[in-house]
Structure formats: C-alpha cells, structure tokens
Amino acid sequence: MTDTAVDTVSTRYAGRRVPRVEDGRLLTGHGAFVDDVTRPGMLHACFVRSPFAHATIDDIDTAAALALPGVHAVFTAADLNPDVVEAWHAVAGKDIPDTPRPPLAEGEVKFVGDPVALVVADSRYVAEDAVDLVEVGYTPLPAVADFRNAVGSDVIVHAAYPDNVAGGLAGAPPDEDLFASAPHVVEEHIYQQMYVPVPMETRGMVVEWSSSTGELTVWASTQTPHELRAFAARLLGIPAQGVRVIMRDTGGAFGQKVVPMREDMCILLAARKVPAALKWIEDRRENLMSAGQSRHVDGTVRMAFDDDGKILAADIDFVQDVGAYPTPYPVLTTAAIGMFFPGPYRVPKASFAYKTVFSNTPGLHAYRGPWQYETLTREMLLDSAARKIGIDPVELRRINILRGDEMPYVNPNGMPYDNCAPADTFEQAVKILDHEGFRKEQADALAQGRYVGLGFSAYIEPTGAATGHLATEGATVRMEPTGKVNVYVNGGSAGNSIETTVVQLTADALGADIDDVSTIQGDTAVTPYGAGTQGSRSGPMTAGAVHEAGAILRGQILAIAAQMLGAAETDIELADSRATLRTDPARSVTFAEIAYRSYYEPAQLGGVPATLEATARFTSQAMIHWANATHVCTCEVDVDTGKVTLTRYIVSEDVGPMINPNVVEGQVAGGTVQGIGGALLENLAYDDAGNPVASTFVDYLLPTATEVPPIEFGHVEIPGPGVGGYKGAGEGGAIGSPPAVINAINDALAPLGVTVTDLPATPATIVDLIERAGRGKDHEQWS
C-alpha cells in the first residue's frame, strides 16, 4: 500500500464512542446462543460424574439406564476413548509432551465431577433421569485435595508423575549475598485461592454428523471457532474441510472457552455414534465442579531495597495447583508468572522458581490474565515494604516505576518493554485520586474510630503476543452488489465487542459510511482462519487484518471509480460511501454505483478488474504490544464485622489509541469487577477429602452492583508498534484489581497491625486477623 493510498481516506470512526452493533439484539433478547439451536430429531447428552475425589472404577452397569424409554445410548471410556486420533491444542503445539487428558475417566476417577459415562436421550430431562440409573462401582482411594501437600505425597494423581509435579522451571538463582546485605529486605508469603471465570453462559455445543457426506457441523460456545474446527478434525481423524464450526453469540468466556476440554471431546466423539444431532449444555453446578479451576497459587516473594527505597532485587518462589487434568499444558504458561514478576518497575536483578502440581481437583484452565499472581504478589509486597521502610506506597512506587524516556527497557528476565510509560498512568491515577486530600480524610476518619484505606496496583502486560498461531489473523472484506460492505473475521460475540470495532475499522479503511458496513463472524465455512479471542489480541490483530484486506479493496474501489470518472486514482477521495474528485467535488460516484458497474456492467470497465473483494492474512511484526495500568481503590473496613465497603475505584490505563472508548472502558470495568470478586468473595473451596463445598451460587459468592462503586477512568494513549498503535484491553482489569483491593484493606487495618496475605479477604478472615492481633498485643502487655 502506498502513502498516496493512505491519503485517499480519512479516519472518521476509530476513536469515537460508536454504539455497539451487538446491543440491539442482545438487549432485546434476540441473541442466538448454543442452547437456541434446534436440529431435526436432536438428542441430548448428560454426563455421569464421579462423587469421589479419587477412586477406582470397578464396574459400570448401564442396563437400567438403557431400559428407560427415550434413552438411546450410554457411552463409557471403552466406547469413546479408543476413537481419539490426536488431541493436542494449537496454543501448546503438537510437539510438547502434554499432561494426561482422556475424554472419559479410565480406571480411576481423579476429582469430584470427573466424567465417567455419557448418556444420550430424547431430552435433557430423560438424560438426567438416566444418569441416576447408571450404577458405577467405586472403591474410594485417599485423595490429595490441597496442592500444597501434594509434592511427594503418598497419594499419586497420575502414575506417570509419581511426585505429583507436572513440571517447573527456574530462572537465574537469587543473589543471596545481595539480599543479606541490603538495607531493607521485605518478604511475604501470599496464598491466592481457587476461583473461576463464571461466564453467564456455561459451556455447550451441538454436534451433527452426516455419515453420507462425512461432514461434521458444530455449533459451539467458544472463543476460537477455527481452533475448535482444527481440533475436531484432529481428534476424529477426518479432513478439516469436512468440519464446520458455527459460533454465534457466546455469553462470556474469559479464557474458559479458548480450548476444547474433555466434555467437548466426548460430544464430538459420540456424535458419530448417534442417529441425529447431539446437544450438550452444561448446568451451573457442572460448570463450578468440572469446567476447571483458575488462579490457586501459593508462594513466597521478597524484595531488597537500598536506603532511598530503590529496588535492588526481586525474587518469587511459588507453586501452582493444576488440578487433575489441566488444559492445555500448564508448565510453560505458568512461567509467565515468574517472567513478569518485575512488573513496570526498574528492577536490576530478578529471580524465580516454580512448580506446577497435580491435585484431586478440576484441572487448571485459562482465566483473564492467567499470570495475574505476579501482579498480586508484587503489588502487595510493595505496600508491605512501604509500611516497613516508613514511606508512603505512592512515593515508593514513584521512585521505582519506569518512565517513557527509559524505553525500550528489558526487564531482568528478558521481557522487552517498549512503547509504554507506566509512570504516566500512575501519575494520572494519583492526580484523579487527590492523594494528599485522601490522606487527610484518612487521618480524620481514624480519629473518629473509622478505618479507611487506600490501595494502589500497577502492572504491565503483554497483549497481542505474536507467537505461534497467534501471530497471524485473517480478514475478508467484500463490497456487495448493493454497495454495502461485509467484513468477515474469525471473531464472534463473546463480550469483547469485536463486532463493533471491526465495523469501525472497516468503515475507516474504505471511507464507507458506518451504516453501510456489517460483519459476519464465527462461521469457519466463510471466515478466514484466526486464532480467536485470547491473550488480549483481538484489537491489535483484527486491526492489522482489516487494514491489509481493506487496503487491497480500497485500491480496487479506486481503480473502478477512476475509470468511471475518467480521472487518476490519486485525484479521488473516498468518504461517506462515495468516491469524489478532489478538484471537482461535484463529480462523484457512490459505492452503490461502483458496485453496480462491477457486478452488472463489467464490460464497461475497460479492462479494469471487476473484483470488489479482498482477503488478507496479517502477520504481526511486533512480538508484543505492552499495555499497562494503575488501579486505585479506597475502602472502609468495619472492624467489628469485617465487612469491607469499597468507596472509590479509579483505573488509568494505556491500551494505545482507543478504537472505541466505550468498549475499552467496558472491558476494563468487567475485568475489574471480576478481580474485586476474587479479592473479597469468590472461593471455589474443597474440603480435605476433595469434596467441593461451593458448587452453587449459594456458597460461591459473586460481586453485584452493591459491592462495586462507580469506576472512574483515566486514559493514556501511547501508540504500540502495530497497525493503528492499538494494544489489547481484555485482561488488564482482572489483573490489576485484586491487589488494589487487598492493599486498600491492609492500609485501613495497618493501625491495628493487621495484614491480609491469604485471599479472599472475607469478613470472617478479617475479624479473625483482628482478634489474633488483639490477643497478641494483650499478651505483650501481660508479659
């Protein structure tokens, strides 16, 4: 594309708060979700799940279930598992030795909810009744539910891993001499509980196999329709061109629906063995018990500082629970916690070591910023260090946070930061807060016996990481015979508003009126390959794909317009779905007229190609687009009840130029609320025997509008290295909010000598810490 071509259109929609394309249907109840799919004679699936965390499967008697009217089949591991051809995921690759993942449990069950058999019936109701009739003989075995006790335990989750360690890694060893000699060394042991994405729509799919044509059609709630298509083809050993995946609306995913899990494998395998389409829709209890776990890390972090508060070294040593069947391979992804631990700060030396450990609980899966523990621990540690050194946490961060004039900057673990200025978002957040004013209010409140606190959290995160299959994204842009434009991308409506932003970008690329642009997404039969919604990549990668395909189509439009107007292409400007002569604005042709000439009068084009369609595959030349943000939380803690009331919440974020500020703020707000839930409420807890004790919303608590104050936004727009300078915005809110909330609580409770280091910070936890601190003080007085 030439510079002249760039000048033929002007940006009109990117950067504007364009209303969401999706809202019309979603807000009026006209969305199309997997459970809305109905096929002729469709059958329904339901899983028989283990009631034990660990047991041998002695026998399975399906006779009573098969005798129930309406039941078509009951499949066990012997029926489905041998049909697996390949079961690797693109995000890990085919050459990495993955951890075990059979579709149905074989020989042993390894967590409560482990799928043991699959019932197929005329309706979900009949299938659920039949599940109760399947008699499974179990011999219970000891379970290891707490991953902190798993390494070297007598209980072995997988025979191939006798020490229960799935894997681990260590960077450079810590500089113990430096830690021993530093003026200030601060260390904390921090435990983050297991909590999960909880999408509004649970997992589900409809699979229809045509034996006559050898074609498989899948309607799925997924973030990655093309990867699901490829996975299904590999799994079944059929040609990929014989698989079609259709994703319409997806009611949230947040990482849980990036890669197909074991239940998805079962439905794909079973669909070829039944006479009609097969539907499986997960209920909420199944989702909480079996869809996987997130976070759940235990570790020790420490930092060394000089007399001026400058960081000298940082070290993190941690263990992550990967459950029984992590998806996908967890060892390398967990390394990100260690690699990113230095964060947006000037850290001369850093070290890390970790283990990923099996337990008799659901398998680890991705959740919005899977490496988030690095920000949680680092930011909590900085606040703890500030208290111990005797400096305000704001000043400690100000001393150490990276500035824009220091870019590019390579952190001590080799992460190459660039195109960002963490100090800018930090200072903007401090200004929005009025830091000095808050400290005065805090002192006044304490004098009145009220405990209010302030918490900061700063982070830097990689978005749109260009590695493996994530490095490319495709787009097709077509002008239809009416002059309207359709843009085809992998996409799909999963809550990230990609329908809206891709329409904005396409309208700008072509000089089209935005009302003349529509998008078709999520159907592998018509959309080019894309890696889907993951890793905060949709913004920068679809922008690149639309830019390249749009440039080709724009050239085609200009060529036809130039022929029609008898002018040079360089003399034509595209705007408002019209091609106009710069030197004579009265002379123009509309996109509709151009399309009519192309489709219906091609002989009049005088040899100019009639094509009005372009497909391009964008390959990112930028390894990483670094986004960053600062979160600020204020709260009040009732020291009698332990109740935490959040009083103010501020986010200053740099995701580059914003395609649509409404979308960016929606993404940040959604992630922030999820992080608030993780800090205060959510806990997918298990007892010592591995039984889930929070498998419904009665026990698994989620934040509501009553727990979340209005979120105030600040924006810094430092362009990234890619097309448009766009960076990803999907994961940041969930990364930055938990430590901001915990730091606010700890700041409020500092006068009582209380520090929360085990999450979540429930009222019971807070009261217990206050009482223990009080008993400690009384003991000192008595002694």
The pLDDT mean for the chain works out to 95
Q: Is 783 exposed, middle or buried (0-12, 13-18, 19+ CB in 10 A)?
A: exposed
Give the residue with greater pLDDT, 588 vs 533.
588
pLDDT in tens, 264-287: 999 999 999 999 999 999 999 999
Do 275 and 127 fall into the same domain? Answer: yes
Instruction: Tell me whether residue 382 is in a domain.
Output: no
| Separation CA 246–CA 676 (nearest Å) | 34
Is 185:304 a contact under the CB 8 Å cutoff? yes
What pLDDT, on the 0 to 100 scale, is given for residue 777? 56
- AA identity, residue 547: H
Give the pLDDT of residue 733. Answer: 95
pLDDT of 626 above 70: yes
Average pLDDT over residues 554-569: 97
Burial class (CB within 10 angstroms; exposed 0-12, middle 13-18, buried 19+) of 424: buried
Contacts of 265 (CB under 8 A, 6+ apart): 84, 87, 103, 235
**Mean pLDDT, residues 704-726 taken together:** 95
State the DSSP string of 592-612.
HHHHHHHHH-GGGGTT-----
Mean per-residue pLDDT, 768-774: 95
Distance CA 234, CA 574 (A): 45
Whether 227 is covered by a domain: the verdict is: yes
Boundary-marking domain end, from 575, 599, 619:
619
Final residue before a domain boundary, out of 619, 652, 667: 619
Residue 608 burial class via C-beta count within 10 angstroms: exposed 0-12, middle 13-18, buried 19 and up = middle
Mean per-residue pLDDT, 633-657:
98
Q: Are residues 658 and 538 in the same domain?
A: no
For the segment 392-416, the average pLDDT, to the nearest whole number, is 97
- How far apart CA 102 and CA 83 sit, in angstroms, is 11
Question: Is there a domain that residue 136 lies in?
Answer: yes
Asked whether residue 67 falls in the same domain as residue 93, the answer is yes
| Residue 8 confidence (pLDDT) above 80 | no
Q: Is residue 299 part of a domain?
A: no
Number of domains in the chain: 3
In 10 A of CB 35, how many CB atoms? 16
139 and 7 share one domain: no
> What is the band of 7 on the pLDDT scale with cuts at 50, 70, 90?
low
CATH number at residue 753: 3.30.365.10
DSSP 572-583: EEEETTEEEESS
- The pLDDT value given to residue 693: 97
User: Which of 111-115, 245-249, 326-330, 384-388 has the weakest average pLDDT?
Assistant: 326-330
Give the tens place of pLDDT for each residue, 75-90: 999 999 999 999 999 8
Burial classification of residue 24, based on how many CB atoms lie within 10 Å of its CB (0-12 exposed, 13-18 middle, 19 or more buried): exposed
Structure tokens at 551: 């440039």
CA distance 241 to 232: 11
Same domain? For 553 and 689 the reply is no
Q: Is 341 domain-assigned?
A: no
- Specify which residues 294 forms β-bridges with: 195
Of 260, 290, 320, the one marking the end of a domain is: 290
Q: Cα separations (Å) of 530 from 488, 534, 624, 680? A: 11, 11, 18, 36
* 95-104, 444-453, 604-613: least confidently modelled range: 95-104
List pLDDT tens digits, range 572-609. Answer: 999 999 999 999 999 999 999 999 999 999 999 999 99
CB 143 within 8 A of CB 690: yes
Mean pLDDT throughout 485-500?
A: 91
Helix (H, G, I), strand (E, B), or coil: what is residue 542? Answer: helix
Would the pLDDT of 689 be above 60?
yes
Residue 173 lies in a domain: no
Q: Indicate if 571 and 706 belong to the same structural domain.
A: no
Query: What residue type is assigned to position 250 of the chain?
Result: T
Task: Tell me, yes or no, whether 444 and 564 share the same domain.
Answer: no
Provide the pLDDT confidence category of residue 776 given band limits of 50, 70 and 90: low
Q: What is the pLDDT of residue 781?
A: 38
Looking at the fold, whether 609 and 483 belong to one and the same domain comes out as yes
535 — pLDDT class (breaks 50, 70, 90): confident
- Confidence at 779, pLDDT banded by 50, 70, 90: very low
- What residues pair up with 304 in beta bridges, in sequence order? 185, 313
The residue-averaged pLDDT of 668-673 equals 97
Please, which pLDDT band fits residue 485 given cuts at 50, 70 and 90? very high
Which residues are bridge partners to 476 per DSSP? 488, 615
Per-residue pLDDT reduced to its tens digit, 101-142: 999 999 999 999 999 999 999 999 999 999 999 999 999 999
Average of pLDDT values for 665-693? 97
Most confident of the ranges 88-102, 446-460, 764-778? 446-460
Same domain, 574 and 450: no
Please tell me whether residues 61 and 98 are part of one structural domain. yes
Distance of CA 498 to CAs 10, 218, 255, 596, 686, Å? 22, 22, 16, 30, 37
What confidence score (pLDDT) does residue 531 get? 86
> Would you state the pLDDT for residue 637?
98
pLDDT at 620 over 90: no
The whole-number pLDDT of residue 2 equals 40
Which bin fits 84, alpha (ψ -120 to 50), beta or left (φ > 0)? beta
Strand partners, 47: 118
User: String of b and e for 460-499 (b: at least 16 CB within 10 Å)?
Assistant: bbbbbbbeebbbbbbbbbbbbeebbbbbbbbbbbbbbbbb
- H helix or E strand, kind and range, residue 504: helix 498-510
Cα–Cα distance measured from residue 716 to residue 424, given in angstroms and rounded to the nearest whole number: 7
Quick one: 606 and 539 in the same domain?
Answer: yes
CATH of the domain at 46: 3.90.1170.50
* Residues 96 and 227 both lie in one domain: yes
Q: State yes or no: pLDDT of 198 exceeds 60.
A: yes
Let me know if 773 is exposed, middle or buried by CB neighbors in 10 A (0-12, 13-18, 19+): middle
pLDDT reading at 4 higher than 70: no
Domain contains 380: no
Q: Does residue 56 form part of some domain?
A: yes
Tokens at residue 262, please?
A: 């074991």
Q: Which domain holds residue 72?
A: 40-144+198-290
Q: What is the pLDDT of residues 296-338, one digit of tens each?
A: 999 999 999 999 999 999 999 999 999 999 998 888 789 999 9
The CB density around residue 211, as the number of other CB atoms within 10 Å, is 8
